[in-house]
């Protein structure tokens, strides 16, 4: 019997007052904390009589150590970092400046190189980084300024007073599989904050709670997502130079799926490679982890990796929807940053610089609110205005219809992207509508039984143990670890749907889209279809794909006990 995680009820919780609570210590949250600290320091040096305190500004981070849940390609566009910390290049952990780039279209065995690199994919001046190391460094800057980062603590739910957000409840620790306190039980804290800043990453669980409560997405396009599967490789020298960037489109995807791959050369013969598959593919049997394995078997890619060793694995979802899918980002007592809001340029495949910039702008607004002692929507909506008058909007406005153009396949997408390129992002109309990705998923009955043109993409990867890996082997390299004796944090609101409908209609796609083998249909003679949903929550890598892609939208991802999760060292 599955029991799902839920904050315990009718217990007394420690209460703690706070000025600002930032939920999530990624690039957005850390940039926000750092900028806020800078502004306060500057203020205090000029206003000795009305000093502001940093003591009650906190960052909650669910990973055991700062940066351990941060994963990205990653290329860093340095624009926002130069604003945040001029000269940051001298001390930040950067692998290499991009010095060589190429874009290929792959067929099953062949490749076509684009004669020129399309402007959005030109990366000269950007840096190849490990986001994990970069955020660790940024986190150390934050801690140096005297702001406390609570690692190992997750935001488990928002606290409300009417239409106002008044704080965050952290995760209950020491709760067993049946959601009962164990001998080491520690109730979550209620942090009563003047302002809560949500920087949880893609599909943040508190952000989801907030959006649902106030119906914030009603005027936006539905957010659409991609799932990035990444492997870090150590290869024989001379294969991919530090600072070399390769993008590919095409194989193994067909024209019906959206996505592509990256290969970045880092230092010490480390190569980052990965595949992003749009979570709006039609065939429920598709497995994005398999897509990456197929990609590596392409002769071009295999030749780069041969004789090398896979050293880490991870997965992350990313928001593709663009400008029209961003909900309001500020209200009474709250602001939303980075991937949680959807600040990502899907044409350039970059979001880190926007996450950082959004964190800085939110910090400026929070600073004004602290000075005025006013945390109402009237003051915090200053953040909304700052975003709209900043280069965040300039950049996203130009690509506002980009992803929607691809909703009807690759060729239609290229057509729309072409027109948009010449009309400042407009294309055929100012605002293209969008459809939530899960609505593109087709039922098995509507698809060819053998998979048709997609056949090569479907089903789990086998893996040869050298170039390709089955999912469990890949998963081992994510280093993910959780306390086993805790309730399932993948909250399925109605498991009957899994056991009676989904298994028949879609063939249980959770088993395929989850990159961590969390979902499993086990034999159960008592079920009408002979199968029953079973969960392996301790495998989870916190990518949120299940919350996004499940066709019935009955899965809610909530944070497991703080401290659990992947170990993305060097990712």
Nearest to another protein of 14, 459 (CB atom): 14
Residue 523: enclosing H or E segment and its boundaries?
strand 519-523
Q: How many CB atoms neighbour CB 145 within 10 A?
A: 15
Both tokens of residue 498? 């899994």
Exactly one of 378, 428, 455, 472 binds another protein (CB under 8 A); which one? 472
Nearest to another protein of 435, 536 (CB atom): 536
Residue 143: enclosing H or E segment and its boundaries?
helix 131-144
Residue 414: enclosing H or E segment and its boundaries?
helix 410-422
Q: How far is the CB of 208 from another protein (least distance, A)?
A: 25
Q: Which of residues 158-187 bind another protein (CB under 8 A)?
A: 186
Both tokens of residue 469? 């890996």
Per-residue mark of binding to another protein, 111-150 (x: CB under 8 A):
-------------------------------------x-x
Nearest to another protein of 481, 501 (CB atom): 481
Nearest to another protein of 189, 402 (CB atom): 189
Interface size with another protein, residues (CB under 8 A): 18
Exactly one of 99, 117, 220, 536 binds another protein (CB under 8 A); which one? 536
Q: What whole-number distance in Å separates Cα of residue 352 and Cα of residue 339?
A: 9
Nearest to another protein of 150, 391 (CB atom): 150
Give Cα separations from 110 to 218, 221, 300 (angstroms): 45, 37, 8
Q: How far is the CB of 472 from another protein (least distance, A)?
A: 4
Q: Which of residues 446-465 bind another protein (CB under 8 A)?
A: 465
Instruction: Confirm or reject binding of residue 567 to another protein (CB under 8 A).
Output: no
Q: How far is the CB of 124 from another protein (least distance, A)?
A: 40
Q: How far is the CB of 40 from another protein (least distance, A)?
A: 19
Q: What whole-number distance in Å separates Cα of residue 60 and Cα of residue 155?
A: 7
Instruction: Confirm or reject binding of residue 11 to another protein (CB under 8 A).
Output: no
Q: Name the phi and psi angles at 153, rounded to 5.
A: -125, 125
Closest to 15 measured CA to CA, from 188, 220, 206, 175: 188
Closest to 93 measured CA to CA, from 76, 79, 68, 80: 76
Nearest to another protein of 411, 476 (CB atom): 476
Q: How far is the CB of 298 from another protein (least distance, A)?
A: 24
Nearest to another protein of 56, 423 (CB atom): 56
Q: Which residues, including other chains, have CB under 8 Å from residue 517's CB and lie 6 or more apart?
A: 471, 472, 475, 511, 536, 539
Strand partners, 271: 233, 265
Nearest to another protein of 125, 530 (CB atom): 530
Cα Rg, the chain, nearest whole Å: 23
Give Cα separations from 169 to 3, 6, 24, 182 (angstroms): 20, 12, 13, 19
Instruction: Confirm or reject binding of residue 189 to another protein (CB under 8 A).
Output: yes
Q: Is-contact 223 318, C-beta < 8 A?
A: no
Exactly one of 11, 14, 108, 124 binds another protein (CB under 8 A); which one? 14
Nearest to another protein of 262, 469 (CB atom): 469
Nearest to another protein of 148, 220 (CB atom): 148
Q: Which of residues 476-495 bind another protein (CB under 8 A)?
A: 476, 481, 484-485
User: How many residues does this entry show for the chain?
Assistant: 571
Closest to 194 measured CA to CA, from 215, 214, 165, 219: 165
Both tokens of residue 285? 């049997």
Instruction: Confirm or reject binding of residue 473 to another protein (CB under 8 A).
Output: yes
Instruction: Confirm or reject binding of residue 313 to another protein (CB under 8 A).
Output: no
Q: Around 120, how many Cα atoms within 13 Å sit in the side-chain half-sphere?
A: 17
Instruction: Confirm or reject binding of residue 538 to another protein (CB under 8 A).
Output: yes
Our measurement of the distance from residue 190's CA atom to the centroid of its chain's CA atoms, rounded to an integer in Å, reads 26
Instruction: Confirm or reject binding of residue 13 to another protein (CB under 8 A).
Output: no
Interface contacts to another protein, rule CB under 8 A: 14, 16, 148, 150, 152-153, 186, 189, 465, 472-473, 475-476, 481, 484-485, 536, 538
């Amino acid at each position: 019997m599955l029991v799902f995680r839920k904050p315990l009820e009718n217990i007394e919780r420690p209460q703690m007052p706070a000025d600002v609570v930032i939920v999530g210590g990624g690039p957005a949250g850390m940039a926000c904390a750092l900028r806020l600290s800078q502004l306060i320091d500057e203020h205090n040096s000029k206003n000795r009589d009305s000093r502001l305190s940093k003591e009650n500004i906190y960052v909650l981070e669910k990973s055991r150590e700062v940066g351990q849940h941060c994963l990205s390609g990653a290329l860093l566009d340095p624009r926002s970092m130069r604003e945040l910390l001029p000269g940051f290049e001298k001390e930040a952990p950067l692998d290499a400046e991009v010095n060589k780039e190429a874009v290929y279209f792959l067929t099953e065995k062949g490749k076509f190189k684009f004669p020129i690199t399309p402007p959005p994919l030109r990366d000269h001046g950007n840096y190849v980084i490990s986001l994990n190391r970069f955020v660790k460094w940024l986190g150390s800057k934050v801690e140096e300024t005297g702001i406390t980062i609570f690692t190992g603590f997750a935001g488990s739910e928002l606290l409300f007073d009417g239409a106002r957000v008044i704080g965050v409840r952290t995760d209950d620790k020491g709760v067993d599989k049946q959601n009962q306190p164990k001998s080491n039980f520690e109730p979550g804290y209620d942090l009563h904050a003047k302002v809560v800043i949500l920087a949880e990453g893609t599909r943040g669980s508190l952000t989801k709670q907030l959006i649902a409560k106030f119906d914030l997405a009603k005027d936006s396009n539905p957010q659409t997502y991609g799932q990035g599967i990444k492997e870090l490789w150590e290869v024989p020298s001379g294969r991919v130079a530090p600072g070399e960037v390769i993008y590919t489109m095409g194989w193994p995807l067909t024209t019906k799926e959206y996505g592509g791959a990256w290969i970045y050369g880092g230092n010490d013969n480390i190569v980052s490679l990965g595949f992003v598959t749009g979570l709006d593919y039609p065939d429920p049997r598709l497995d994005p982890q398999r897509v990456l394995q197929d990609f590596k078997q392409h002769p071009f890619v295999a030749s780069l990796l041969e004789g090398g060793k896979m050293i880490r694995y991870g997965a992350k979802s990313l928001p593709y929807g663009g400008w029209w899918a961003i909900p309001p980002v500020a209200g009474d007592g709250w602001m939303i940053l980075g991937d949680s809001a959807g600040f990502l340029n899907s044409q350039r495949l970059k979001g880190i610089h926007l996450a950082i910039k959004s964190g800085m702008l939110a910090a400026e607004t929070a600073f004004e609110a602290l000075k005025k002692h006013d945390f109402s929507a009237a003051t915090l909506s200053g953040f909304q205005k700052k975003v709209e008058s900043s280069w965040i909007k300039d950049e996203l406005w130009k690509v506002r219809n980009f992803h929607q153009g691809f909703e009807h396949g690759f060729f239609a997408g290229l057509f729309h992207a072409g027109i948009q390129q010449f009309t400042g992002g407009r294309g055929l109309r100012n605002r293209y509508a969008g459809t939530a990705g899960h609505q593109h998923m087709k039922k098995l009955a509507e698809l060819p039984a053998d998979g048709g043109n997609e056949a090569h993409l479907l089903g789990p990867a086998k893996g040869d143990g050298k170039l390709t890996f089955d999912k469990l082997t890949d998963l081992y390299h994510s280093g993910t670890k959780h306390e086993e004796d805790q309730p399932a944090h993948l909250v399925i609101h109605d498991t009957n749907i899994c056991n009676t409908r989904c298994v028949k209609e879609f063939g249980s796609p959770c088993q395929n889209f989850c990159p961590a083998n969390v979902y499993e249909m086990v034999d159960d003679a008592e079920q009408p279809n002979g199968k029953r949903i079973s969960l392996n929550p301790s495998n989870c890598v916190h990518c949120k794909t299940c919350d996004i892609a499940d066709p019935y939208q009955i899965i809610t991802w909530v944070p497991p006990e703080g401290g659990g999760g992947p170990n993305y060292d060097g990712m």
